[in-house]
Amino acid sequence: MSNDLLSKLQQGDAKALARSISLIENEAPGYEELLQSLPQHPGKPVIGITGPPGAGKSTLVDALIGLLVKGGKKAGVLCVDPSSPFNLGSLLGDRIRMSKWYDHPSVFIRSLATRGSLGGLHPRIIEITELMKAAAFDYVIVETVGVGQSEVEIAGLADITIVVVVPEAGDEVQTMKAGLMEIADVFVVNKADRPGADQFVKNLRLMLAPAFHNRYDEVPVIKTVASQNEGVDELLKTVDHLLKHHHSKERRYWLLAEKAYQLIQRKKMNGIQKEKLKEEIKELSNKNSFQLYSFIKNYS
pTM of the model: 0.81
Asked whether residue 58 falls in the same domain as residue 109, the answer is: yes
pLDDT values of the chain reduced to their tens digit, one per residue, 300 residues:
678 889 999 999 999 999 999 999 888 998 888 988 888 766 689 999 988 888 899 899 999 999 999 999 999 999 887 654 443 444 444 345 567 888 899 999 998 875 544 444 567 888 899 899 999 899 999 998 665 544 556 767 788 989 899 998 766 666 555 556 667 889 999 999 999 899 989 888 887 776 555 555 678 999 999 999 999 999 999 999 998 876 566 766 777 787 788 788 878 887 888 889 999 999 999 999 998 888 888 887
Q: How far apart are CA 58 and CA 77, in angstroms?
A: 11
Asked whether residue 283 falls in the same domain as residue 211, the answer is: no
Asked whether residue 57 falls in the same domain as residue 2, the answer is: no
The total domain count for the chain is 3
With beta carbons less than 8 A apart as the criterion, state whether 216 and 246 touch: yes
Asked whether residue 224 falls in the same domain as residue 297, the answer is: no
Q: How far apart are CA 120 and CA 237, in angstroms?
A: 28
CATH number, position 82:
3.40.50.300
pLDDT at 90: 42
Asked whether residue 50 falls in the same domain as residue 179, the answer is: yes
Q: Report the alpha-carbon angle 112-116-121, nearest 5.
A: 50
Asked whether residue 29 falls in the same domain as residue 85, the answer is: no
Q: How far apart are CA 164 and CA 224, in angstroms?
A: 10
Q: Chain centroid to CA 281: how far?
A: 33
Q: How far apart are CA 16 and CA 18, in angstroms?
A: 5
Asked whether residue 165 falls in the same domain as residue 122, the answer is: yes
pLDDT at 87: 39
Residue 236 Ramachandran class (φ > 0 left, ψ -120 to 50 alpha, else beta): alpha
Asked whether residue 118 falls in the same domain as residue 47, the answer is: yes
Asked whether residue 257 falls in the same domain as residue 246, the answer is: yes
Asked whether residue 26 falls in the same domain as residue 115, the answer is: no
Write out the residue range of the structural domain in which residue 7 sits: 1-38
pLDDT at 132: 92
pLDDT at 89: 42
Asked whether residue 28 falls in the same domain as residue 135, the answer is: no
Could you tell me the strand order of the sheet in which 107-113 lies?
107-113, 75-81, 139-143, 46-50, 160-165, 186-189, 221-223
Asked whether residue 28 falls in the same domain as residue 84, the answer is: no
Q: Which amino acid is at 271?
A: G
pLDDT at 39: 83
